[in-house]
Amino acid sequence: LVYERHGEPAAVVQLKDLEMPKLGDCDVHVKMLAAPINPADINMIQGTYPLLSPLPAVGGNEGVGEVLEVGRRVRALKPGDWVIPADAGLGTWRTQGAFPEEMLLKVPRDIPVLCAATLSVNPCTAFRVLADFESLAPGDSIIQNAANSGVGQAVIQIARASGIKTINVVRDRPDLPKLVKRLMALGADHVITEEMLRKPEMKDIFKSIPRPRLALNCVGGKSTTEMLRHLQPKGTMVTYGGMAKQPVIVPVSAFIFRDMRFRGFWMTQWRKDHAQDQESVATMMDALCQLIRRGQLTAPACTEIPLQDYRAALEASMKPFVSSKQILLL
């Protein structure tokens, strides 16, 4: 799936036949199996993301493929191995590709294909925001908005496996009871709407769990300011997305009287910063794969779409209140 200019995905993305390049000594020939459509993919096509691929570009930053053939200098991979992108910008919306070995990470074949296809972005983001900003112990709590997003679903499950309680904020919607039930089934302790953040009933939640030391923000705007009310003094808010396209507004009192910390997180930057620290990457991937094997981390709710129906998948991924990730089957 190629785009030669930036614009609305359904208008600029086209399905094209490209010739496979000759396999270099350090290259790996990969048959792609499945690749999701993430918000960052859409933003890259629109030209609004901080990281843009040179045009013409193949869409997709995430997915899983099977190695078909390797160049003679490739040491870590062999035919039959499963691989995922080591970094953003690989262009995963394709049936096959030839990539340099260092652009790929091997993943175990004993995890479900949809888990592998959605492993390198959302679960990694969830893992890092839970691990890197506050030292959380079993019994502690966190609060997050966009709790039904891919990252939000992974946060719920990883926190649950670590004994950390989650307060999960979602937008009100027509099928709210169904969404609440699904997030509770994943291990959410509390699921509330943005409106509930302003209500006195919030005090009831903190009768059974401590106030959170960590808030995870993927929305911005009013939702973020309301979440802040419930954060402990000296707590940390980590912003990793801005779905409302509105700024984060912080009352002066949060800085002066409550000494709160405000941080940002971008998985792409983390990978750049740890490019020479393969042990950190391997430890994270191993921890996530162990959770998947134990059934403690599942793929987000997915809708599987054949590659030729890509336009429908792109349009569906941009609709409001979508709680299902579109996955292209390749």
SS3 320: coil
Beta-carbon neighbour count of residue 136 at 10 Å? 19
pLDDT-based confidence at 64, cuts 50/70/90? Answer: very high
Percent of the chain at pLDDT exceeding 90:
87
> By 3-state DSSP, what share of the chain in percent is helix, strand and coil, each rounded to 5?
30, 20, 45
Strands 190-193 and 261-264 turn out to be unpaired
Tell me, yes or no, whether 69 and 139 share the same domain: no
Query: Residue 204: what pLDDT?
Result: 92
Identify the sign of the CA torsion 196, 197, 198, 200: positive
pLDDT-based confidence at 237, cuts 50/70/90? Answer: very high
Q: What are residue 30's DSSP bridge partners?
A: 67, 97
Sequence length of the chain is 330
Structure tokens at 147: 């709790």
Tell me, yes or no, whether 112 and 143 share the same domain: no
Helices (H), the chain: 9-12, 39-46, 113-117, 122-131, 150-161, 176-186, 202-205, 222-228, 252-256, 267-273, 278-293, 310-317
Tell me, yes or no, whether 103 and 136 share the same domain: no
Residue 321 has pLDDT above 80, yes or no: no
pLDDT per position as a tens digit, 269-317: 999 999 889 899 999 999 999 999 999 999 988 999 999 999 999 999 9
User: What is the rounded CA–CA span in Å between residue 70 and residue 261?
Assistant: 47
Please indicate, yes or no, if residue 177 is contained in any of the structural domains: yes
Residue 8: which CATH number?
Answer: 3.90.180.10
Mean per-residue pLDDT of the chain: 94
| CB contact at 8 A, 251 and 276 | no
State the average pLDDT over residues 33-62: 94
Residue 160: which CATH number?
Answer: 3.40.50.720
Please indicate, yes or no, if residue 95 is contained in any of the structural domains: yes
Tell me, yes or no, whether 99 and 114 share the same domain: yes
DSSP state of 278: H
Query: Residue 275: what pLDDT?
Result: 87
Please indicate, yes or no, if residue 19 is contained in any of the structural domains: yes
Please indicate, yes or no, if residue 255 is contained in any of the structural domains: yes
Tell me, yes or no, whether 129 and 89 share the same domain: no
Tell me, yes or no, whether 237 and 133 share the same domain: yes
User: What is the rounded CA–CA span in Å between residue 291 and residue 158?
Assistant: 8
Please indicate, yes or no, if residue 285 is contained in any of the structural domains: no
Query: Residue 319: what pLDDT?
Result: 85
State the average pLDDT over residues 178-187: 95
User: What is the rounded CA–CA span in Å between residue 330 and residue 109?
Assistant: 17
pLDDT-based confidence at 260, cuts 50/70/90? Answer: very high
Tell me, yes or no, whether 212 and 261 share the same domain: yes
Q: Which amino acid, 262?
A: F
Beta-carbon neighbour count of residue 17 at 10 Å? 5
Tell me, yes or no, whether 108 and 235 share the same domain: no
Please indicate, yes or no, if residue 289 is contained in any of the structural domains: no
The DSSP annotation for 7-73 comes to S-HHHHEE----PPPPPPTTEEEEEEEEEE--HHHHHHHHT-SSS-PPSSEE--S--EEEEEEE-TT
Q: Which amino acid, 103?
A: M
Give backbone dihedrals phi and psi of 301, rounded to 5 degrees, phi first.
-55, 125
Percent of the chain at pLDDT exceeding 70:
99
Tell me, yes or no, whether 53 and 176 share the same domain: no
Please indicate, yes or no, if residue 189 is contained in any of the structural domains: yes
Domain count, the chain: 2
Tell me, yes or no, whether 242 and 310 share the same domain: no
Query: Residue 243: what pLDDT?
Result: 85
Give the domain range for residue 158.
Answer: 122-267
CA atoms within 13 Å, Cβ hemisphere of 185: 10
Q: Angle 150-161/176-186 helices, nearest 10 degrees?
A: 40
Residue from 224, 234, 271 nearest 88 by CA: 271
Please indicate, yes or no, if residue 113 is contained in any of the structural domains: yes
pLDDT-based confidence at 324, cuts 50/70/90? Answer: confident
Tell me, yes or no, whether 218 and 93 share the same domain: no
Of 250, 267, 284, the residue at which a domain comes to its end is: 267
User: What is the rounded CA–CA span in Å between residue 151 and residue 231?
Assistant: 20
| CB contact at 8 A, 164 and 134 | no
Tell me, yes or no, whether 109 and 30 share the same domain: yes
pLDDT per position as a tens digit, 111-151: 999 999 999 999 999 999 999 999 999 999 999 999 999 99
Q: Higher confidence at residue 244 or residue 320? A: 244
Of 267, 289, 320, the residue at which a domain comes to its end is: 267
Active-site residues, by number, are 49
